[in-house]
Amino acid sequence: MRQEKLLIPTLREAPSEAEAISHQLLLRAGFIRQVAAGIYTYLPLGLRVLRKVSAIVREEMELAGVQEILMPAMQPAELWHESGRYEVYGQELIRFQDRHQREFVLGPTHEEVITALVRNEVNSYRKLPLTLYQIQTKFRDERRPRFGLLRGREFLMKDAYSFDSSWEGLDSSYRSMYDAYCRIFARCGLNYRPVEADAGAIGGEGGTHEFMALADIGEDTVVSCMSCDYAANLEKAEGHSGEADPSLLLQVEGNAEAGSAVNKQGQAAAGAGHYDRLHTPDTRTIQELAQSTGMAASSFVKTLIYLCDENYIAVLVRGDHEVNEIKVKHALDAENLVLADAAAIEAITGAPTGFAGPIGLSIPILVDRSVAAMKTVIVGANEQDYHLRNVQPGRDFSLRIMGDYRNATEGDCCPRCGGGLVFHRGIEVGQVFKLGTKYSEKLDAKFLDSTGREQLMIMGCYGIGISRILSAVVEQHHDSGGILWPNAIAPFYVHLIMVSVKDTEQVRLAEELYRQLKVAGVEVLLDDRDERPGVKFKDSDLIGIPIRITVGRQAAEGLVEYRERRTAEQIVISADTVVAKVT
Ligand code: ATP
Ligand code: MG
Ligand code: MG
Ligand code: MG
């Protein structure tokens, strides 16, 4: 496609209401525009990505033997009365009347419609198992629509529903959907974790898992074990272990992968000279610290984690590779517990906290000396007494609650293996539920089994937030210049830049490459705008197409620049070979 006429309204600055980086970038790069709170238009680039994600979802659904249908968004209220959810769903459910005063709702989910469909159309065990899915716009009047596509009031969801004749059948339908979800999120380039979750409002008798894309902006907390594959959302984990144990200690662990990035940041920060030296470690337990704030230990821990995320606490690490002390320090004076307000934090960190008023709590230093078991290289550990600023939990380190080594009790560690637990922030990008007979009972969805007896169908339901994935991916894949789309869902694969539209050599070569790339089946966006090169390159970085080919001054010699967006690696190569390199 040609950029000249394509609607890609890029912006220098992000609108001030956009808090999340993904929201800012999707607006700035011209992928979406807001129509009302939580309601968006997808511009050509945004729609292309939405379609790419949908295509991956469709492929994996087909592979799992699931059939696509399309149900209406407008649903008669009677069905919701039948299921009993009309009253209990609350204000998220958008209700309205037609011209004859008949009651309707806009579907926030489709259990009612699909159960009624299958009840009417499927009567025999011979037709089971049956799994159906759709990709459809959902409506939820969220209390707090925010972060762009992450929490919309109108959004695109893939929802699937399975009908089985036995509980073993449900297990296998569930498993196959779970596996498909893993493939979908991996193909979209997401760093995600499947976690055990609570059944919540949709309810049901069986298990449920959420798929969490790890990101600091995420509204959920993921607890995972460092020693086995146990992972759960915080509510579920607390269900396992009861109230947080008073003897818990909080531990901070660096993320080895992020180490280099952190060190770079740390060096930049050190240059700015804002940083003090280590303070004396505070060895109080969570219990003691919580007491001094008047909070219950469990709420204290939650608040702590929340504040750490919001305020980018400083992490202090002393040590060489045999780590002997690890400290978490709030950017405030860490030696004292003081009542801090947002202004004080902002004054010290130089960054907005996002808090309007006093928050009533500062973060103490917490130290755990029982680190013998920890082998991971810690953030900044290659520099003695190194202070890092703007370190982000999750990306740069994780907070880990572990049993007090002096007084270990059951329940504060992994419920499966007793190992240490790690906390991350997560965005729920999908969820799978074993519903059992909850809806088939209410809506009377039965089948005749092989002995001719009537049985209730056993159901599962499976959702993926397709539009939410766009934002989750951008949260995980961006740099200071803009978005870094994973190849599989990039709006285009190649951005072909014609540096000067007035240079006939450049125009000729760029047009020729454009033609060749299209013939080769490569999705290519040709920047044929009459703009300054700087504008073109800035826009190109912002939009985030994986490969950039620049036809500039060396066009006359048959040379072009080939650059990967993600690595910024750039080479000059012959125009004759560039198409082959891309394909
Ligand atoms: P959340 O906990 O974020 O409110 P949910 O648990 O209510 O989500 P589900 O009913 O499980 O959502 O819906 C399936 C999927 O739809 C979710 O996993 C999520 O990816 C997506 N989703 C839910 N609500 C929204 C929303 N308001 N905007 C965008 N996507 C959403
Ligand atoms: Mg919700
Ligand atoms: Mg949820
Ligand atoms: Mg959910």
**Which residue, 160, 167, 30, is CA-closest to 431?**
160
- Tokens (6 digits) for 487: 């190849």
3-state secondary structure of 581: helix
Q: Which residues pair with 550 in a beta bridge?
A: 497, 561
- Tokens (6 digits) for 202: 């949709």
Q: Which residues, 6+ apart, have CB-to-CB distance to 184 below 8 Å?
A: 56, 57, 60, 430, 464
Candidate ranges 33-37, 141-145, 217-221, 259-263; pick with highest mean pLDDT: 33-37
Cα–Cα distance, 49 to 39 (Å, whole number)? 17
142 Cα to the center of ligand 2, angstroms:
7
Q: What is the tens place of the pLDDT at every residue in 308-365? A: 433 333 232 222 222 222 233 333 323 322 223 334 434 444 444 433 322 222 232 2
Q: Locate tokens 């002390």: which residue?
A: 325
Kindly report the CA angle at 345 between 344 and 348, in degrees rounded to 5?
A: 90
Through-space distance between the first and last CA atoms of the chain, rounded to whole angstroms: 18
Q: Which pLDDT does position 16 carry in this prediction? A: 85
CA 153 to ligand 1: nearest atom = 27
Q: Which pLDDT does position 355 carry in this prediction? A: 34
Nearest ligand to the CA atom of 156: 1
Residue 364: DSSP 8-state: P
Helix (H) or strand (E) holding 575: helix 575-582
Tell me if 250 sits within 8 A of 286, measured CB to CB: yes
Average pLDDT over residues 432-461: 97
Cα–Cα distance, 161 to 172 (Å, whole number)? 13
202 Cα to the center of ligand 4, angstroms:
8
Cα–Cα distance, 353 to 307 (Å, whole number)? 9
Cα–Cα distance, 431 to 461 (Å, whole number)? 8
**Higher-confidence position of 122 and 331:** 122
493 Cα to the center of ligand 1, angstroms:
29
Tell me if 403 sits within 8 A of 248, measured CB to CB: yes
Cα–Cα distance, 579 to 25 (Å, whole number)? 29
Residue 237's pLDDT band, with cuts at 50, 70 and 90, is low
**Which residue, 40, 136, 156, 143, is CA-closest to 92?**
143
Q: What share of the chain is helix, strand, coil (3-state, %, to 5)?
A: 35, 25, 40
Q: Locate tokens 């520099």: which residue?
A: 383
CA 464 to ligand 1: nearest atom = 15
Q: Which residues line ligand 1 (CB under 6 A)?
A: 109, 140, 142, 151-152, 155, 157, 428-431, 463, 465, 467-468
Q: Which of 42-46, 76-80, 176-180, 264-268 has the lowest mean pLDDT?
A: 264-268
Report yes or no on whether pTM surpasses 0.95: no
The interface pTM score, or ipTM, of the predicted complex is: 0.99
CA 145 to ligand 1: nearest atom = 27
Tell me if 129 sits within 8 A of 163, measured CB to CB: yes
**Residue with CA nearest ligand 1 atom 25:** 151
**Which residue, 334, 321, 339, is CA-closest to 278?**
334
Residue 379: DSSP 8-state: T
Q: Which residues pair with 497 in a beta bridge?
A: 527, 550
465 Cα to the center of ligand 1, angstroms:
6
CA 200 to ligand 1: nearest atom = 6
Neighbours of ion ligand 4 (CB under 5 A): 431
Q: What is the tens place of the pLDDT at every residue in 65-119? A: 999 999 999 999 999 999 999 998 989 999 999 999 999 999 999 999 999 999 9
151 Cα to the center of ligand 2, angstroms:
9
- Tokens (6 digits) for 387: 């202070």
**Residue with CA nearest ligand 1 atom 14:** 463
Nearest ligand to the CA atom of 211: 1
**Which residue, 50, 93, 52, is CA-closest to 74?**
93
